[in-house]
Structure 1
Amino acid sequence: MTESSYAVSGMTCGHCAAFVTEEIERVAGVTAVTVDVANGAVTVTSDRELDLADIRGAVEEAGYELTTVDD
């Protein structure tokens, strides 16, 4: 299992968290997503290393911006 944390800008509510979670869960290998709206943080658990471009694309598809990565 691999766990990575990301900072995402623009999230302000539970609906934002749901959109981000839904899109990231579509990335192959993702097993869990935890969103902390108050801190603008997303933690992704996966069964393998994930391609940052895939996570960035999922966040952008949800309408937000991936700003930093903290592995």
Structure 2
Amino acid sequence: MIDFKVQGMTCGGCVRGVTNALKRVDADAVVDVDLAGKTVSVNSTADAQQLKQAIEKAGFAVTQ
């Protein structure tokens, strides 16, 4: 499980955007987004750096 602190998520559309970005890296990833806590947990075989870059490319700031 890889956890990210993600800034800029404010709505369900943001949740979908982050989830879709991560699924493009690993279609089998299990993604859990906590909108209130601004955290994203990902169970994936992909590299953490790839996942972080996907979130950032979707327009969100990642702090860990």
Q: TM-score range by the shorter chain?
A: 0.7 to 0.9
Structure showing greater radius of gyration is: 1
Return 5+ residue gaps in structure 2 as ranges: none
C-alpha distance in 2 between matches for 1:34 and 1:54: 17
Q: Which structure 1 residue ranges, 4+ long, deviate > 3 Å from structure 2?
A: none
The residue identity in structure 1 corresponding to 2:48 is: L
C-alpha distance in 2 between matches for 1:21 and 1:28: 10
Instruction: Report how many residues are paired.
Output: 64
C-alpha distance in 2 between matches for 1:31 and 1:14: 19
Return 5+ residue gaps in structure 1 as ranges: none
Confirm or deny: 8 A CA contact 1:24 1:30 kept in the other structure: no
Confirm or deny: 8 A CA contact 1:11 1:64 kept in the other structure: yes
Q: 2:14 aligns with which of 16, 30, 36?
A: 16
Question: Hey, which of these two has a bigger chunk of helix by percent?
Answer: 2
